[in-house]
Structure 1
Amino acid sequence: MQDLLDKIVAEANVTPEQAAKTLDVIKEYIVEKFPMLGGAVENLLGGNN
């Protein structure tokens, strides 16, 4: 997941903390809207930081 965070930092020009929070919000949104994907999201993006 660090690769994705690094990419967000570089391409969105945000701090690492902002990138991590953004990714957390996206993960939570996906699991909230599509609960059946919870395990896949966990495997792909990791657990809550």
Structure 2
Amino acid sequence: MNKDNAQGQVNELVERLKTNANLSDEQAQQVLVTLKDFVVEKYPMLQGAVSSIFGGDIK
């Protein structure tokens, strides 16, 4: 998965969170941060994959 494709999918996920869960942009971003942190904490061996998907754009 290339970086542009991954970023496009993250943007799509943000839009779905905003639409389906009626979240603000800030809330949707916080959901992604929480998911990213949870997966890396519970499954450290997936850190590379998570970073590849979410990159450094989510904080």
TM-score normalized with structure 2 length:
0.76
Q: 2:37 is matched with which residue: 28, 42, 45?
A: 28
Count matched residues.
49
Aligned identity (percent) is 39
TM-score normalized with structure 1 length:
0.89
Question: Runs of 5+ in structure 1 lacking a partner?
Answer: none
Deviation at 1:46, TM superposition (A): 2.1
Alignment of 1:3-42 (within 5 A): 3-42=12-51
Higher relative contact order (CA 8 A, sep 6+): 2
Question: Runs of 5+ in structure 2 lacking a partner?
Answer: 1-9
RMSD over aligned CA atoms reads 1.0
